[in-house]
Amino acid sequence: DDVLWCHDLYRFYRSGDEETLALRGVSLRVARGEVVAVVGPSGSGKSTLLACLAGLDEPDGGAVTLGGERVSHRPEAERARIRSRRLGVLLQYGNLVTHLSVRANIQLVQARAKGERPAPDDLLEQVGLRERASALPRELSGGELARAGLAVALSNDPDVLLADEPTGELDGRTEQVVLDLIRARAGDGRGVLLVTHSPAVTGIADRVITLSDGRIAA
């Protein structure tokens, strides 16, 4: 019952006669209800892995499924359809369109996703931002921005939430609020995969995977 699965992922980068093997046979799974953290030094392949899992980059070898649907080695239109139904992505530097209000950002994602979607104001209620629905991203504090980003990432009610340093530079208390919300997501029977350097973030994970030089080291 995996919401996210990848098997034997390989990714090469070639620039001139330089070749980098960014991923060398990475296999992992995230089960329903599970939070998995990926850690590793800079250059170990975390960003490449996240992009392949999100269906934003195409691995040179191996396979990825999201919510049971294969996303690797399919045309971009198919990948986009699967992403819009199955996946939420949360990035450190924000996933909001700057000239749209928080509510309009949610509506923008929802316009592309089909099926059941939570009401924007209910999503904002969950992250404690109901009264900030009409605010623009630049009018929000760092903590509010992180919570707005989470509301946007969850606005298609995704099976899988992928997050890259989801709490960035937040202070401890605000970080915990965001982490509790992410943890609750797995409690609702979804899956979460986090890429992070922060011990507070790995603290909410059921499992921690260490990448080293494009391989799973632990």
Looking at 42-50, 142-150, 183-191, 200-208, which segment touches ligand ADP (CB under 6 A)? Answer: 42-50
Of 22 and 129, CB closest to ligand ADP: 22
Which listed residue (28, 44, 79, 146) binds ligand ADP by CB under 6 A? 44
According to the binding rule CB under 6 A, does residue 61 interact with ligand ADP? no
CB of 62 to ligand ADP, least distance (A): 15
217 lines the binding site for ligand ADP (CB under 6 A): no
- Phi and psi at residue 29, in whole multiples of 5°? -145, 150
Instruction: Tell me if 166 contacts ligand ADP by CB under 6 A.
Output: no
Token pair 């929000």: residue: 140
Helix, strand and coil in the chain, % to nearest 5: 35, 30, 35
CB 213 within 8 A of CB 158: no
User: Between residues 41 and 68, which has the closer beta carbon with respect to ligand ADP?
Assistant: 41
Alpha helices in the chain (DSSP H): 46-53, 76-86, 102-112, 120-126, 142-153, 172-187, 199-202
Can you tell me whether residue 87 is helix, strand or coil? strand
Q: Report the site for ligand ADP in 19-38 (rule: CB under 6 A).
A: 20, 22
* Sole binder of ligand ADP in the list 2, 4, 39, 48 (CB under 6 A): 48
Q: Which of 2, 6, 46, 161 touches ligand ADP by CB under 6 A?
A: 46
For the beta carbon of residue 15, count every other beta carbon within 10 angstroms.
Answer: 7
How many Cβ atoms sit within 10 Å of the Cβ of residue 171?
A: 10
Q: Which amino acid is at 109?
A: V
Q: Minimal distance in Å, beta carbon 14 to ligand ADP?
A: 8
Are residues 194 and 183 in contact, defined by beta-carbon separation less than 8 angstroms?
no
Task: Provide, rounded to whole angstroms, the least separation between the CB of residue 193 and ligand ADP.
Answer: 14
Angle at CA 90, nearest 5°, toward 88 and 95? 100
The window from 25-33, 44-52, 143-151, 186-194 that contacts ligand ADP (CB under 6 A) reads 44-52
Q: Closer to ligand ADP at the Cβ: 40 or 55? A: 40
Binding residues for ligand ADP, rule: CB under 6 A, are 13, 15, 20, 22, 40, 42-48
